[in-house]
Amino acid sequence: MNKNLLYRSIPKVDVLLENPAIQKMIDCYSRETVMEAIHMEMDKLRKFIANTSDEESVKQQIDLLVPHIACAVSDMHTPNMRMVVNGTGTVLHTNLGRAPVSREHMERVTALVSGYSNLEYNLEEGKRGERYSHFEKLLCKLTGAEAAMAVNNNASSVLLILSSLAKGGEVVVSRGELIEIGGKFRIPDVMEQSGAKLVEVGTTNKTHYDDYESAITEDTKALLKVHTSNYRIVGFTDSVAIDELIPLAKEHDLPVVEDLGSGVLIDLAKYGLTHEPTVQESIAKGADVVCFSGDKLLGGPQAGIIIGRKKYIDRMKRNQLTRALRIDKFTAAMLELVLQEYLSEEKAVKNIPVLRMITEPLEEVKRRARLLARRMRAYKLPAKIEVKPCESQIGGGSLPLERIPSMAVVLRPEKISVTELEERMRRLPVPIIPRTANDTIILDARTLKQSDIKLAADQLKEYEVLEKR
Ligand SMILES: *Cc1c(COP(=O)(O)O)cnc(C)c1O
């Protein structure tokens, strides 16, 4: 078996370039891309030959060289970030992009950002304007706050607030609220970055009014409340509500800052969910500065929204850090559109995907689950296909104990394992991300869009995902 002969059987680059399929690729893409793919695939082939002495399999690989080059070229031009079908039932799935935005809002944003806009231009006065101006009044109207702004995300809000109000001084916070919220975002570490010194009071499960009172010194610059949105300490607990802290703060002329995490503007209890403290309540109780995420329960773009007394918000707007944390035009445009929906709660619940999903009646979810099951059965997919009740989660660190009754299509594959099926679903052109439990694949219909039904079933059929290979 002569390896040199095998190496020599690899087509030369000039010969490949004469190939009509390759020429077509050059026309469609570019000569550079195709050359890169050719060299990549030839390297692979050389490595293959180095590791085998089976002439027949080398021949096969050589026959596949042009199709492999085509795949490589097409891969280079396919974005890695793709749409996926969320079958997990977790509405705010941080790994899957948190809050989806509505197509209608996106189309309006697209129109705005694909040309020039008055992002920072005051059209009435013909001079420089503020990028927050598009949604500041709206936020004030909705929440009752005096002023508002927005930064890149809520972690940035905390950083900016503390840097603006408490740099070089102390901030008093309860031990029960010193949280980590995923992605290594820890309140104590952010405080340190801001240049404020953290003064922890109370214990993990109990913090009293007196604890705050005795921690206040000449160096105290603010009292901080953090809504422990991603966990609950249950049982023997006590914390000091914001309205109790206000008189204490007033007495010492200190601002009370509340990090709400998830910013809810509507009363979720109306829809059968646990009441989550709303932004309006926080302001009404007297919080001086309140911050929350744009893409948690608010259902908007990634952002950190900061509202409160004008004198504090003005200090933040002037802080040099703001320039580094500022939102871009996409976010500013999207925030305005999403906040406008809240002018009518009915419209918000209908037009903001996150709210629509968490408030959708079980009957509707069941209808989608049944449609999906029917389609899968019609395709005679080799699996036991059932529609069963399940529970969805809100996720994104919001309402951690909340479970929403939902309906799922439960698949028990007949020819392959659940692990294999889960992996194959993940590798589809439009990946399907399910939940797995008790040796079944669960597709929770609460997070499936109407268009996902056909997309999911058709892909399972077309790519023979459930067949033995
Ligand atoms: C989620 C959360 C944050 C961080 O918000 P991002 O928008 O993800 O940066 C900060 N504080 C609390 C309490 C949170 O729940």
Whole-number Å distance, alpha carbon 264 to ligand 1 midpoint, is 13
What digits encode the pLDDT tens for the residues 301-313?
999 999 999 999 9
What digits encode the pLDDT tens for the residues 374-390?
999 999 999 999 999 99
Whole-number Å distance, alpha carbon 184 to ligand 1 midpoint, is 11
pLDDT at 232 exceeding the cut of 70: no
Whole-number Å distance, alpha carbon 185 to ligand 1 midpoint, is 8
For residue 190, the model assigns a pLDDT of 80
Task: Give the CA distances from residue 425 to residues 74, 86, 135, 407, in Å, rounded to whole numbers and listed in that order.
Answer: 21, 11, 41, 20
pLDDT at 318 exceeding the cut of 80: yes
For residue 192, the model assigns a pLDDT of 82
Ligand 1 cavity residues, CB under 6 Å: 153-155, 181, 185, 226-227, 229-230, 259, 261-262, 293, 304, 397
Nearest CA to ligand 1 atom 15: 261
If one residue of 228, 296, 302 were mutated to test the ligand 1 pocket, choosing by the most ligand atoms within 8 A of its CB, it would be 296
pLDDT at 234 exceeding the cut of 70: no
Ligand 1, residue 396: give the atom nearest the CA: 1
pLDDT at 183 exceeding the cut of 80: no
Q: pTM for this structure?
A: 0.90
The b/e string for 102-114 (b: 16+ C-beta within 10 A; e otherwise) is: beebeeebeebbe
Nearest CA to ligand 1 atom 11: 261
For residue 276, the model assigns a pLDDT of 87
Q: Angle at which helices 55-63 and 65-76 pack, to 10 degrees? A: 50
Tokens in use for 326?
């500022």
pLDDT at 230 exceeding the cut of 80: no
Whole-number Å distance, alpha carbon 292 to ligand 1 midpoint, is 7
Whole-number Å distance, alpha carbon 427 to ligand 1 midpoint, is 31
pLDDT at 238 exceeding the cut of 90: no
For residue 229, the model assigns a pLDDT of 61
If one residue of 156, 184, 185, 187 were mutated to test the ligand 1 pocket, choosing by the most ligand atoms within 8 A of its CB, it would be 185
What digits encode the pLDDT tens for the residues 377-429?
999 999 999 999 999 999 877 777 789 999 999 999 999 999 999 999 999 99
Bridge partners for 261 per DSSP: 292
What digits encode the pLDDT tens for the residues 101-156?
999 999 999 999 999 999 999 999 999 999 999 999 999 999 999 999 999 999 99
Whole-number Å distance, alpha carbon 259 to ligand 1 midpoint, is 8
